[in-house]
Amino acid sequence: MPRKLRAASARAKSASIRIRNQNCRIRNQISPVMAVVNSALPADKRAFHLHILTGEPLSSCQKMLSGHRAENIDMLRKLLAGQDVDFAAEVLKAFVGADAPIAKAMALQQDLRRAQAMIRTLKARIAE
Q: Decide: pTM greater than 0.85.
A: no
Q: Write a three-state SS string for the chain.
A: CCCCCCCCCCCCCCHHHHHHHHHHCCCCCCCHHHHHHHHHCCCCCHHHHHHHHHCCCHHHHHHHHHCCCCCCHHHHHHHHCCCCHHHHHHHHHHHHCCCCHHHHHHHHHHHHHHHHHHHHHHHHHHHC
Mean pLDDT of residues grouped by 10 in the chain (128 residues)? Answer: 66 59 62 85 88 89 87 85 78 77 76 89 90
Q: What is the pLDDT, as a whole number, of residue 2?
A: 66
Q: What is the pLDDT, as a whole number, of residue 80?
A: 83
Q: What is the pLDDT, as a whole number, of residue 31?
A: 82
